[in-house]
Structure 1
C-alpha cells in the first residue's frame, strides 16, 4: 500500500491496487463519526459504442443504458438493496455522468457491513427481462420530469447543438424509445466490459483504522473470481458541425440564454499539464465574468444578467467545453457582449495579477471549507483523478499557476473553439 501526505491539507491518502485490478483509496478521518464510501466505474452515457466481451467488432447500444444499468443494480432476486442499507442505518444513492457511474453510502454505524454491501451488490448483477420492463416505465417518468425543467432543457439543448450526432447530444437518461429498446442481455454485455475491477475504483473515508479496513476489503475481493481483462475498447467521440442560433419556445417567464464554447484544440497528454489546463481555463472565465469581476457588476446593473447567471468549464479525456447560462431580457446583446469580451481579454481590466490573486484566495478558501464535507470530498475525488494526481493536489497546482500560464491556456482554447448559442423564449 502506498501513502502520500498532503502538507497543505494535512491529509494522508492511502492507495492500493488489488490483485484483481481494483484501485482502492483510503482517507482516514479520526475526528469524524461518519463513514462515506464511493464505488466508481469509468463508464458513462458516452460509452454506447464499444467492443463487447468475446466480440471483435464495435457494437452500439441504446442511449441511456449506463444510467439504466445504475438503476437495475439496486434490484436483486432477494429484494431492493436500498432496504438493506436502511436496515444498517445507512443512506445510499448512485449517479451517472458522461464518463462515470458511482454508487455510494453514508453511515454513522456498521461501516464494515456497509462497505461489504456496497462491494457485493455492485459486483453481483441480477437482470431479467421482467425487471427490465418494470424499470423502463420508471425511467420514462424520470425523463419526463426533466422535460418539464426549463434550466435542464437549456443545458441539454445547448449540448445537442454543440455536439450533433454524438453521444454528448443525447440525454444521460436516454429517450423513451431508446429505453424501451434495452434488454437484459444488453445490460449484461455492458456490465461485463465496464464493471470489471480494472476499470473501477473504491474510495473510503471516515474514522476507520486503515490497515483493518484494507484487510477487510482485500478479503472481500479475494472471495470473488474475475477473469483477466484488457482496457475496454470504446469508439472515439466524434461530432458533426455545431448548430448555432437555434431557439426553443417553452412556458417560461423570461428568455434563457446558453452560450457554449466547444473546445477543438488537442488536450495535453501529460496529467499535470491537463489538470492545470482545466484549472487555468476555469480561472480565466472567472476573471472575466465571475462575481468578483467588474464586468459582472456592470452586466447586473444594466439588467442583462441576474442571480441565475453562471459559467463553467468542463473537461474530460474525450471533450472539453465552456458554458454560460442565465435568464436575460436581451439574449442577443448578452451573447454579443460575452463574445466580445473573450476576443479582447488581453486588454481587459479584470485580466490582471491583482484580480488573479484575489480569485486564488477565494478558491482556496472554498476548497479548504469543502474539506469539512466527506460527501463533497468523495464526489470530487472520483471526478478529479488524473493518473497520479487528484483532488488533494489542487492547492499546489493553483499556487503554481501564473497569469502567463492562464493566458497560454486561454489562447489555446479560444483560438480553436466553436461558438454556439441556444435560447429558450416564452411561448
Structure 2
C-alpha cells in the first residue's frame, strides 16, 4: 500500500500542522484537534463538551452561518480525550481556514447564551438516558472506572450542566486551548503548492489566535476497579442485552504504539467471537445469540477497555461462554491471515474517505504516531507475535459484565456443551508462513 503524501510543520509556539494531499479528490477537510476531552479531569463534569458547543457562539451569532456563506459546512465532536472542530468544502479553503481559527481562537460566553445551550445539552442527555441500554453501559464503566469521568456521560450530569458558568468555561479554555496542546490537519484535494500555502497561512493564524503558553501534557490516571464485577438490571425488553467489559492494562507496557495494540486486541476478539469464528457458529446452533456481537476497543488516559455487546435469550450462559473464549489464548491462523487482508482493505477504504482519514491523521498527531507506520507494522506481524501480544495483555486484564435482563429471562445457570468446550479449540499456533 502506497504511503500518504504529507507535509508537516511545527511552529515556534509548539503548534503543529499537517496537510495530507489527495489531489484526485475534490473534497477538502480542515480541522483543529485539542488534546482534551470529556473524560479528562475538569472542574465541572461535561465542561469539555459544553465548551465545544459554546465556541460556535460569537457576538454576531452562530459562526456556522459564516461557513455556509462560503460554501462550507462545519461541525465538532468531543470524545474521551479530545475535542475536534472541523470544516468540509470543495473550494474556498483560503476563506475557510481563517474562519476555523476564529471559531477555536475566540470566545463569547454570555450567561444568556450559556442558559440556552444548557437547555439543549440537557435535552440531549435526557434523550440518551431514556434509552435503558445507556444505563447498562454506564453501570459497566462505573464498575471498571469508578470516580473517573469515564463513568460519567461526556455531556456531564443534569446537575453539572445546570451549574456551568462563564467562569468555568473560561478556566477550561485558557487551561487547555494552548498552542502545544492543539494540532491542525488538512486533508483532500490539495496540491503541493497549496499545501505549502496552507502551512504558511496556519503559521500566521495560530500566532494571531492561539495562546503560546506552554501546556503540561497530562499523564495516565487509571482508577482502581470496584469489587463488584457483575451487575444486572431488569427491564421490559424482549431479549436480554449483555455487555462484557474487559479492563485492559496500559498498552505501553507491551509496545509504544497504542494504535497497534488496539488493533491487535480488536482483531483477536473478532477472530474469537466474530461472525467468521467457529465459536459464533456454535453459539448460534446452541441458541445463545440472536445476532452478531458488537466488539470495540478503546484506549484513554483514564484506562483502556474493550466492550462486547449482544442480545441473548439466556444471558448467564452467554456471559460464561464469552468469558471462556476471551481467556482462550489459542488463535486461528487462517482467520488471522484473512483479518490482515481485511485490515489493509479497510485502511485503503479509509483513505478514500477524506473525513475519516483526516480525523484519524489528527488523532495520530496527538498520539505522536504515524498512520503508515502502524499499518506497516500490523501487516508485518507474524501469527505467533499476534497471539503473544494478546496473551500478555489479556493475562493482565479484568472482566466485568453489565446486563439489561428481560423480565422473562431464563435464569438457568447450568452449563451446556458449548460452555464446556470454551477452551477446546485446537489451532495451529506456529509462525505465519511467509
Q: Same fold (TM over 0.5)?
A: yes
Please name the residue that 1:374 is paired with: 354
Distance, in Å, in 2 between the alignment partners of 1:306 and 1:67 is 36
Alignment match, 1:228: 213
1:26 equivalent among 15, 19, 28: 19
> 1:127 is matched with which residue?
109
Determine the structure 2 residue equivalent to 1:403.
Answer: 383
Listed one character per residue, the Cα deviations across residues 173-215 of structure 1 (whole Å, up to 9, x for unaligned) are 1111111121110111110111111101111012222112212
Contact 1:165 1:240 (C-alpha < 8 Å) held by counterparts: no
1 CA distance for matches of 2:215 and 2:89? 35
**CA pair 168-182 structure 1, distance change in 2 beyond 3 A:** same
Q: Matched residues in 1 for 2:255 and 2:293: separation? A: 33
Aligned to 2:372: 392
Query: Which residue does 1:328 correspond to in 2?
Result: 312
Q: Is the 8 A contact 2:102 2:209 kept in 1?
A: no
Describe the shift of the 1:331–1:293 C-alpha distance in structure 2 as closer, same or farther (beyond 3 A). same
How far apart are the structure 2 equivalents of 1:81 and 1:386? 26
CA distance in 2, matches of 1:374, 1:292: 30
CA distance in 2, matches of 1:400, 1:275: 15
SS of structure 2 residue aligned to 1:139: helix
Partner Cα separation in structure 2 for residue 265 and residue 90 of structure 1: 40
Whether 1:140 aligns to 2:125 is no
CA positional deviation for 1:420:
0.7
CA 1:234 to 1:408, structure 2 compared with 1: closer, same or farther past 3 Å?
closer
Query: Match of 1:408, SS?
Result: helix
Q: SS at the partner of 1:404?
A: helix
Q: Which residue of 1 aligns with 2:281?
A: 297
Contact 2:255 2:261 in 1 (8 A): no
Q: Is the 8 A contact 2:148 2:223 kept in 1?
A: yes
Counterpart check, 1:244 vs 2:246: no
Match of 1:164 among 121, 133, 146: 146
Aligned Cα root-mean-square deviation (Å): 2.1
Question: What is the match of residue 338 of structure 2?
Answer: 358
Aligned length: 404
Q: Deviations over 1:323-363 (max 9, x none)?
A: 100111111111100111222332xxxx1322211111111
Per the alignment, in what secondary structure is the counterpart of residue 419 of structure 1? strand
| Counterpart-to-counterpart distance in 1, 2:140 and 2:68 | 39
Please give the alpha-carbon distance, in whole angstroms, between the structure 1 residues aligned to 2:359 and 2:210: 28
User: Which ranges in structure 1 are unaligned for 5 or more consecutive residues?
Assistant: 1-7, 50-60
Q: Tell me, in whole angstroms, the C-alpha distance in 2 between the residues paired with 1:388 and 1:227.
A: 20
d(CA) in 1 for partners of 2:85, 2:246:
31
Give the whole-Å Cα distance in 2 for the aligned partners of 1:207 and 1:277: 32
Other-structure match for 1:56 = none
Contact 2:271 2:335 in 1 (8 A): yes
Aligned to 1:58: none
Counterpart secondary structure, 1:407? helix
Alignment partner, residue 383 of structure 1 = 363
Give the TM-score taking structure 1 as reference length: 0.89
2:405 counterpart of 1:425:
yes
Aligned equivalent of 1:149:
131
| TM-score w.r.t. length of structure 2 | 0.87
